[in-house]
Structure formats: structure tokens, C-alpha cells
Structure 1
């Protein structure tokens, strides 16, 4: 049974570190350059979580580097519009990180093409970030493994951020977000680097494949919940600081119709949600980030672990109905989803 968020909970400031990106995608389900148009959205793994949490009423602060031009300012303006504190963004000469999304349909999968090499964020030196100052007033730091994949500077900056957060007494959440296309020739470094950050986290968003990569293990159970259970036991044994491991699992019939459910393990027990059927998906990009934001919101609102996981799944499911990278829906929308209020027009 879902429990309502507790009102008058202490306001938590969450700092986010990661690259901000501009997404270009052809309209509808067109192929790239089928027509001479692209839809533009701004986002990024950490930025998507930051914006969603800001919309849910939390104090989100984005730490990143942007080009000092119209693209960078438009990106910052979009975050600010959603309520994210953008005062810690750096602006300098250089280029914006871009990715092209070719939306799939039916049995044609979506495809991402990255154009983010040598972006301003990737080229910013690790010692450019004054972490004690940037984390002042925050109680939580959220970041992802994408920072580790982009180059030596961003990897070192992420490690510095986590160490500074720990020294200042902040909690840390880490989304493994392993992307083989981004690691490229640096992929042999991935397990050790991701493991270094994961070992400092209170909450990890990752599945059995992520844990297997970091710990050099193999989980061969035939079903996803059992693989996740084994991976969670290994992760909790390996990292004394870790309190929760959470992930989603999908069953894909095709690009437009899927089933998704959530899993979370603590040192006490394992929770698994019921599967949710998603049909006629509008946009699945950012679904994992919506899940992360939903779980953090639930925990910050002092929901039970089970209720926080259910809320996170509601956020992930509803994100699939929203174009763009960010889940723009509010707490009442997720609670309505959980209450199964139906599909009549809300007047």
C-alpha cells in the first residue's frame, strides 16, 4: 500500500555534477534528415534528475561547464525555468555537447549518435572546481558514471567531488550509467573507476550487469530478480557505506510496447514492484533518470522504502508519456497514477 509523502519535511539541497547536453532528434518517428528539421531538447543524466526534483519541490543545484554562447545560455535558461539553481555553472569558450537521437518505432530500435568530444565540460580541468565552496549548504550529491567515461579530467573531477562530499558529511547517490560508446578505448579503465565512486555511495542506481562489471563477477541466474538479488548481496558486502541498490528491468515486445518493473535492495530485504505495461511509448529517453528522481523524492519525503520504490516506478512510467529528456510531471501526477484514478479528462 502506498503512503503519502510526509508534509513539512526538512528541505534538502541536492548538488548535481555532470555534462549538460543538447539533443537533436527528427520529428515524430522520422529518420535523421528525412525532412530538414530537428526538435531540440536540453538534458543530461544528472540534469534530468535535477530538473525533475526541482519540479517536485526540492532545492536542486547544477554544477557543470557550458559554452559562453547562445546554446549554453539557452540550456541554463531551460534548467532555471524548471527551478534548478544554475548559479554554479561555469561559462567559457568552446562547444556544446550534442547528441542525435533517431527515434525507433515498432521493431526498429532507437539509436543515439554522440557528438560531444572536446566539449567545454570535457575540456574543463578537474582543479577548476572548488568543491568545498560548490557543496556548501548541500546535504546530498548526485552524479553518474558518464563523468568517468568522458575523459581523464572529468573522471578526476567526479572523484574529487565524491571525496569532498564525503569529507563534508554529504550523502552520495551514484547512477552507474555505463555507456560503451562513450568509454571507447578507455573501456579497460571503466571497472576500477566506476568502482571507486560506487564505493563511496549511499545509494547506487545499477543492475546486475553494472555490479558484475565493477566487481569482476558473473550472475547467471535465469530470472532478473534473482540476478539482482545476487548482485545486491555482492555489492552490499563489497561496500560498507552502501545502503540501497535500485534498478529497473524491462521486457521489450517492440520499441512501442514494453513491460517495466522496479527493484531495490537494502541490508534488510529486497523489494520488487509489479510489472507495468507501457504501450504507444512517446519517449523513453530519461526514464531511468525519472526513476532516480522519484526514488530520491520518496526518500527525502520520508516514505517507506517500499513506497519510495513504487513512487519511483510511477515517475519512470509516466516519463514515457513526455517528449524530451526530463520528466515534467508533478507529485500529484505520480500519486494519481499509483491510485489508478483512471483516464478521464481532469476538469
Structure 2
């Protein structure tokens, strides 16, 4: 059984209930999550052993965030330091009003991490897979260097490495552009989740007008020869309340496409990409030679996440497989 390590910041999420705007809120629904923690929780729920590396403050919020991860079966490894847990506020959108995120994560415990503070060789001793995302190196030069340190050790120790580009323009505020930092990190990856529009601004790979997805991903593999699989999700006919989702995978030989799901009533779209990431990792582990099935599992996972409140996908392997097989549509399971 593949043993997985993920690395990133866990945040406290506060959302106004009932689709209220932040300016209207007098109370908040509370969740813990964020990209790499969401992936870890999903993979643990799928039955894989997962360790999540982070830093939290020595207070009740820090302990609550770790307890939440343990409740999903994740083994957290957290440096207890700093004074606060990062926060983000999420305002649910509706119809043509988009959702909105406001970050409050400066000077968080995680932001104080630096190169040399984590013993990566010990962390990776019994691991097979390492997952990270572009959010971590976007936060500071120190975290970019720490991420690079982790990737160098993981590469040397022979782990499979995956990443979600997760480009968030509002987070890159320390004087570096994403395409100045990310290429040196992505070169370590075997599996990458990203979209065509991230080619130049994140990976530094030129994009020509009219380039197809296959052409762009072929160029990514030329620029980053370790890459074995590139996946991308697609939203169509989208507003805040409904959209269609599908996905594709390029394995260097053929571009495969998933079935398309129409989601008519979105409960919570935060974490949908992380649900897909967990799904494709699980899929490639379980069906390493069947990329179509792995892709279908991942897109079914992201479809179901849209129906679940909070950051983390609570769908089980059997529920995802049932949707893949056509047993969806809101039928009551009896």
C-alpha cells in the first residue's frame, strides 16, 4: 500500500451561513482545511496511509485543526510554534454573483517555517509519494526554499511526486513572480495538475494563440522531462450555483477525456480541485495502467464534492464508483 506525505498550511475557514455576504454576517460556519490538508483527508478516507506536515500554534485552534485531521485518519506531523492559525473567509456565491475569498494568514505559525526546520529524511523514511501545491511557495521566499528542500530530499529518496499548480495571484506578494519560483520546483514532479492559462505565468512555458491542450502539455513535458502525467479540470456553462465539470489527462502518448457531469445545485465548490487531486492520486495508485479509469474516478470525486459543505470531500470510494457507474441522479440509497 502506497504511503503518502502531503505538506502545506491548514487554515481556519469562516463562512457566513445561508449565502449571506461577508458584510451581512453576524455568525459564521467554521471549518478547517486548505489544499494539501484536503487532499490528505480525502486520501485517508479512501483507505491510504497519509501523513500531513504543517505548523500550528500552541492553542485550542491549533489542536482542533490537528484533531480534525486525525478524525479522518490522517497522521499529522506539526511543529508547534508561532502565535496564530491562518484564517480565510469564504463568501458563498449564488447564480451570477461569484464566491469570494478574503485571506487573513500573515504571521501565521506556518509562515514562520524555514529551510532546515524539518527533518525530511525522517519524514520520508517509510513514504512512497509526496504531494505539494503552488500555494506554499507563493507565501514567502522562506517557504519556497523549504518546499525546494523537501522536493530535493523526496527526489533523492525515490518518491513519486505530485503537485497542483494552484495559482493564486493574490498570494504572490513577496516580490517574486510565480514563474520565477515554480519551474525549479515543478522539475521534480511526476504528476501535475494545471491548466493551459498557467503555462506562461506559472511554468514559464510560452503559449501561442490557438495552441491545443495536447500541444501545451507536450511542451510542458519537454520543459519538465520528469513529468509522466498531466491532468486538468474543466468547468463549462459555469456560474456560482451550477456548472458542468470534466477533466483530461495527458500521459505523453494520448490525451484522454472524462465524461462530463452537470451539477445543477452547488452546495460548496471550495475543495473541488483538491477532491480531484486526491482522486487522481488514488486512481493512478489503484489503476496504474488504466489512466481512463483513474481519470473517471477523479472527476466523479470532484463532482460529488460540490454537494458537500466544507473544504473536505466526504465521499467514499464506493460512492464515487457508484457515480462512475451511473448510479447518481439523487436516488435514495436504501
Coarse TM-score class (shorter-chain normalised): over 0.9
Count of matched residue positions in the alignment of Structure 1 and Structure 2: 331
Match of 1:336 among 319, 322, 325: 322
Tell me how far 1:302 sits from its aligned partner.
2.3
Is 2:260 aligned against 1:275?
A: yes
- Do structure 1's residue 318 and structure 2's residue 304 form an aligned pair? yes
Give unpaired runs (5+ residues) of structure 1: 1-10
134, 148, 169: which one aligns with 2:158: 169
Q: Does 1:194 align with 2:188?
A: no
- Select 2:96's aligned residue among 104, 107, 115: 107
Q: TM-score, normalised by structure 2?
A: 0.96
* Residue 231 (1) aligns with residue 231 (2): no
Q: Report which stretch shifted further, 26-35 or 71-80.
A: 26-35
Counterparts of 1:1-347 in structure 2, within 5 Å, are 11-86=1-76, 88-188=77-177, 190-213=178-201, 214-221=203-210, 227-303=212-288, 304-342=290-328, 343-347=330-334
Q: Which runs of 4+ in 1 moved over 3 A?
A: none
For residues 227 and 192 of structure 1, the distance between their equivalents in structure 2, rounded to whole angstroms, comes to 25
RMSD of equivalent CA atoms: 1.2
Name stretches of at least 5 consecutive residues in structure 2 with no aligned partner.
none
CA distance in 2, matches of 1:29, 1:135: 42
Deviations 1:268-293 (A, max 9, x none): 11111232111110000000000010
- TM-superposed CA distance for 1:216, in Å, is 4.0
Shift of 1:344: 2.3
- Alpha-carbon offset, residue 243 of structure 1: 0.1
In 2, the alpha carbon distance for the partners of 1:315 and 1:186 equals 36
Whole-angstrom distance in 1 between the partners of 2:91 and 2:206: 34
- CA positional deviation for 1:34: 1.8
What is the CA distance between 1:312 and its match in structure 2? 0.3
1:219 to 1:248, Cα distance in 2 relative to 1, 3 A: farther
* 1:114 alignment partner, SS class: strand
Do the aligned residues in 2 keep the contact of 1:105 with 1:256 (CA within 8 Å)? yes
